[in-house]
Amino acid sequence: MSGGVSLAELNGLPAGDFVAALEGIFEHSPWVPEAVAGARPFASVDDLHAAMAAAVAGAGNDAQVALLRAHPMLAGGAQLTAASAAEQASHGLTALDNVEAERFAAANQAYLARFGFPFIIAVRGQRDRAAILAALEARQLASPAAEQATALAEVGKIARFRLDALIRAEPAGWISVHVLDTARGLPAVGMLLMLDRCAPGGLVRLGEWRTNSDGRCDAPLLKGDAMTPGIYQITFAVAAWRAADGLPERGFYDEVPIRFCVDDAAVHYHIPLLVSPYGYSTYRGS
């Protein structure tokens, strides 16, 4: 997907489109995203990467070796995927002089003969191509089992770099609440609250929550792509909460609506409510 895709969009794609979007994360191995498509939604890129890495780890030796063999020879001049070409070009591996090219070719062939798969390293994490060549030569001293483990770890690093390049960061802002019963000096537990977006035709309900034992909600009321500039309203069901909590006074307020403006979807909007039977206050929290 050109221009990147958000994690929320990936989570919502049909399975086939999800696999197509991620088929290049592990080189020529769409079976990796296929293995995790049913585990959605992923809460973070970390979770998605961990699930894909776990799929590789649990795939068995034959599949792991096939994955390693799907990678191109480093600085080998063979046809590369767009991702591999960009990674190798970032360190000049696609434009070596004759002396460097011969040294890489000899080391690559020796490595391949020893281990049966091409040398793999997360190029974007290396200082320069001299460090890459030094690693290529040094890793030939490892045992086959140890080197296979190292190569798979490098595949995981490459996958993470590619995920970070593909997945568009979601807005960092969110909306949270905290309700305090100022008459008793305690959190208001179990209060129903509703979040609406103010639209030209009226209020559009976005969700309902109840406060937890700390007077907060267990998750943000709004975040990510859903967090857009506009006017919102949180309505706190105060009278119903007082009745359900067995409080002696019904109080003056049935519901407390708080309407506020979100100007920047990348910041945190915290809406506290301090409520008593005959008064309430609120402010822009942090």
Tokens of 51: 């699930």
Of 57, 26, 22, 53, residue with least CA distance to 37:
22
The strand pairing partners of 258, in sequence order, are 234
Nearest partner of 92 among 118, 117, 120, 127, judged by Cα: 127
CA distance 204 to 56: 44
Q: Where in the chain is the domain with CATH 1.10.3330.10?
A: 5-168
- Residue 80 half-sphere exposure, CB side, CA atoms within 13 Å? 16
pLDDT attached to residue 1: 44
pLDDT in tens, 59-102: 999 999 999 999 988 877 667 788 888 888 888 888 888 898 89
CATH architecture assignment, domain 174-282: Sandwich (2.60)
**Which pTM value belongs to this model?**
0.61
Residues 6+ apart with CB under 8 A from 46: none
2 — pLDDT class (breaks 50, 70, 90): very low
Q: Average pLDDT of the chain?
A: 91
Q: Write out the E strands in the chain.
A: 5-6, 167-168, 174-181, 186-187, 192-199, 202-210, 222-223, 230-236, 256-262, 268-276, 279-282
Tell me whether residue 91 is one of the annotated catalytic residues.
no
The single residue of 28, 71, 91, 270 carrying the catalytic annotation is 71
User: What CATH architecture does domain 5-168 belong to?
Assistant: Orthogonal Bundle (1.10)
**Please, is 241 exposed, middle or buried when counting C-beta atoms within 10 Å of its C-beta (0-12, 13-18, 19+)?**
buried
Supply the pLDDT for residue 171. 62
Cis? peptide before 41, omega within 30° of 0:
yes
Contacts of 248 (CB under 8 A, 6+ apart): none
- The boundaries of every CATH 2.60.40.180 domain in the chain are 174-282
Structure confidence at residue 82 (pLDDT):
83
